Amino acid sequence: MRVLVTRPQRDAERTAGQFAALGHEAVIAPTMRIEARKPTIAGVDFSAVIATSAHAIELLDDCRLEGLRNAALFCVGARTAAAARDRGFQDVRTSALNAQDLLAMLPGLRRGTRVLYLAGHDRKALLETGLTARGFQIEVAEIYRAFAETRLPAAAIEALNAGRLDAVLNYSRRSAVILIGLARDAGVLKNLLALPQICLSGDVASAFEGFDARTLIAPTPESSGMLAALEMI
């Protein structure tokens, strides 16, 4: 099966490798690029650190990382947990599949606990609002920012025009919205929407509301869930 992978370049390359190992072919079409930021973090005396993306762990610079490795890290997804272990975090706790699940992992922490949120610039307020409501002292450190790409790669446009794709993989609502705009600008929106849209979650699928598109939502918001949804085609 041939799929269009819309993740940032490094993530897309990793996904393409996973799919190739299973006999699928991937065309990479990043809709965003990731750039590191260097926020000021006040001290290192945090009882807990939270992260919802592997980017926040991978792009945390060594100086700031050094004082955080011994704090309990609560994270979303196996990929984020693996990145944290690779960078030396000693107490990594993950069972969360999204921010709501992550909040449910934290009741054991005392009110007033100082929590550091390693975040991206563009994010939903759910986690910060939920942590504040539970009485935690939260500090947000924006570790990276995702910028929208300005055009689809030529290989993606060619594949869409030639009808050489079987599905599109969409990992975030924002990237799906950007993809729709880029496809419109390239004159291939009709071809894009004719393909099944595999979506990481219902929130991602909502980007296609109002369009005549077939969306399939992954049974779990992770790589294995995206593969399972692809097999439903």
Query: Residue 107: what pLDDT?
Result: 67
Identical fold, 2-31+150-230 and 34-146: yes
From residue 231, give the alpha-carbon distance in Å to each of 110, 119, 208.
44, 32, 20
pTM, to two decimals: 0.87
User: Quick one: tokens of 228?
Assistant: 């399972």
pLDDT value of position 44 = 67
pLDDT digits (tens, 9 = 90+) for 44-61: 678 889 999 999 999 998
Tell me which residue has tokens 């709501």: 100
Ranges of residues in the chain whose predicted pLDDT is under 70: 43-44, 107-108
CATH 3.40.50.10090 fits 2-31+150-230, yes or no: yes
Tell me, what's the pLDDT at 43?
A: 66
- CA 174 → CA 1, 127, 177, 220, distances in Å? 25, 18, 5, 19
Using N-to-C axis directions, what is the helix angle for 223-230 and 9-21, rounded to 10°? 60
User: In CATH, what class is 34-146?
Assistant: alpha beta
Per domain, the residue ranges of the chain are: 2-31+150-230, 34-146
Sign of CA dihedral 169, 175, 177, 183: negative
Range 14-22, long-range pairs (CB < 8 A, 24+ positions): 15/169, 15/223, 18/223, 19/227, 22/227
Q: Phi-psi bin for 43: left (phi > 0), alpha (psi -120 to 50), beta? A: left
Sign of the Cα torsion 106, 110, 112, 117 reads negative
116-142 in b/e burial notation, b at 16+ Cβ within 10 A? bbbbbeebeeebbebbeeeebebebbb
Task: Give dist(CA 138, CA 136) in Å, integer.
Answer: 6
Residue 41: its pLDDT value, please?
80
Per-residue pLDDT, 38: 86
